[in-house]
Structure 1
Amino acid sequence: MKKTILLLLVLLSNAISVAQSQTQRTKEFNLENNIALQGYDPVAYFTQKKAVKGKKEIASTYEGVTYYFSSQANKAIFAKNPSGYEPQYGGWCAFAMGDYGKKVEVDPETFKILDGKLYLFYNAYFNNTLKSWNKDETNLKKKADANWKKISG
């Protein structure tokens, strides 16, 4: 009986911990109505090398964050390795994260795949931050990684 109670307490503690980490993720991610990437398909960036709008009918939620997909095939690919398709820095602008450690909105059609990871960039009002990122990518990536660690805890 004591073992059963102890096991239940451990499971409850783990469930609370998972729920808290999911809540933290959704607070830190760039989401609109809990949808990542403004509804763009995370897998298409890698397989089609372009931004493709997903469909709300083909959705999947990973650790509290919901993604839309353009096809069932892409949803199935995502399900096998969800963390491999998530955008870096919670989907915020990689340049801004590296340059001054701030969460800045992105244009989901302005992106770069680097070392198998998806990076998004702000691109509006004649300011395409992907161009600035490319000029000092190594340094900015290092800074962005450190800044995101501080923000996302």
Structure 2
Amino acid sequence: MAERLITGAMAPDFTLKDSSGQDVSLASGRGANTIVYFYPAAATPGCTKEACDFRDNLASFTAAGYRVLGVSPDPVEKLAAFAAKEELSFPLLSDQDHAVAEAYGAWGEKKNYGRTYEGLIRSTIVVDPDGKVALAQYNVRATGHVAKLRRDLNLDA
């Protein structure tokens, strides 16, 4: 299993294609806080709930100085359809070879209905303006995660 990131560590830089085929990098957000959330598959019930929660809270994240990036192993075309259908206004990034997920500790062994396999571990990493990990959350639940993240970032004040 990939090693999980810890608070204070440098977040691995990356450049991935977004749902429109444009390159988006972590480095392009230096100077601001970035929320990088990893989700297993676009257009599935849990991932849709989580993405819509981020969409519905995007204005408050942005007002507090955060940008949001969603990362999944889906191809760009699937991300484009998902973003259009759910009216998602933040970048969804394609990590088809799951190299970024591995670098962030968000790829590893999973168990489901007695079956063990390798896959994406629903995770959220908050990167500070200097590129360091400010918060690392692994095995998060799709439902209620954004509300918990807002509390953890003291955005509900």
TM range (shorter): under 0.3
TM-score (norm 1): 0.28
| TM-score normalised by L of structure 2 | 0.27
Higher helix share: 1
Larger Rg: 1
Higher relative contact order (CA 8 A, sep 6+): 2
Quick check: which one's strand share is greater?
2
